[in-house]
Copies of this chain bind each other. A is one copy, B any other.
Amino acid sequence: MPAKTSRRKAAASRPKVLAGTVFITRQVHFNAAHRLHNPAKSQKWNVAQYGLCTNPHWHGHNYVLEVTLSGQPDADTGYIMDLSALKRILQRAILDPCDHHNLNEEVAFLRGIIPSTENLVIAFWQQIAPYIKAPARLHRVRLFETPRNFAEYYGPGIAG
């Protein structure tokens, strides 16, 4: 019976499903200006706290952003999420507003926030999270300010 045969063949060629929670990361980068400055404090306080990082003429960084999702690989695709789709999300949520921009002056979702690496990972999480649809879950936002300094955030439910 051909129908049965072809059904059997299709079953045979269906990919083997591997079960388990996997974490998948995509790295992107952007270049931005910023300064560390608390406008509620005196210039003297700011210089004592931040040194050169509070320079009113700005400085900047090649930021490297790594975003990690968790989930089970999909039975049909083997993907937690297509990383090209994640890249497009990061382009819209983070790179379009931040790349070649001034993090203190030009980014709506950072208004009023001191752009320390610590604050940036929380703010970036808040921007990215709404785009990540179940069953994928946003697991971690990691941001390198330089190759020697980075911050990581695992979401509001995690105590360090």
Q: How far is the CA of A50 from the CA of B160 in the complex (A)?
A: 37
Q: Which one of A60, A105, A117, A151 has the greatest number of beta carbons of chain B within 10 Å?
A: A60
Q: How far is the CA of A55 from the CA of B99 in the complex (A)?
A: 11
CB <8 Å contact, B24 and A77:
no
The closest CB in chain B to the CB of A98 belongs to: B59
CB <8 Å contact, A101 and B59:
yes
Within 8 A of B (CB), among A1-42: 10, 13-16, 18-29, 31-34, 36, 38-41
> Known contacts A20-B155, A118-B24, A123-B18: does B73 contact A147 (CB below 8 Å)?
no
Q: Which of B25, B53, B77 contacts A151 (CB 8 A)?
A: B25
Q: How far is the CA of A116 from the CA of B22 in the complex (A)?
A: 11
The closest CB in chain B to the CB of A53 belongs to: B100
Query: A70 CB to closest chain B CB, in angstroms?
Result: 3
Query: A62 CB to closest chain B CB, in angstroms?
Result: 4
Q: How far is the CA of A16 from the CA of B104 in the complex (A)?
A: 12
Q: Which B residues are in CB contact (< 8 Å) with A19?
A: 122, 156
CB <8 Å contact, A60 and B73:
no
CB <8 Å contact, B154 and A21:
yes
Q: Which one of A62, A76, A80 has the greatest number of beta carbons of chain B within 10 Å?
A: A62
Q: How far is the CA of A155 from the CA of B34 in the complex (A)?
A: 33
Does A121 count as interface, using CB distance less than 8 angstroms? yes
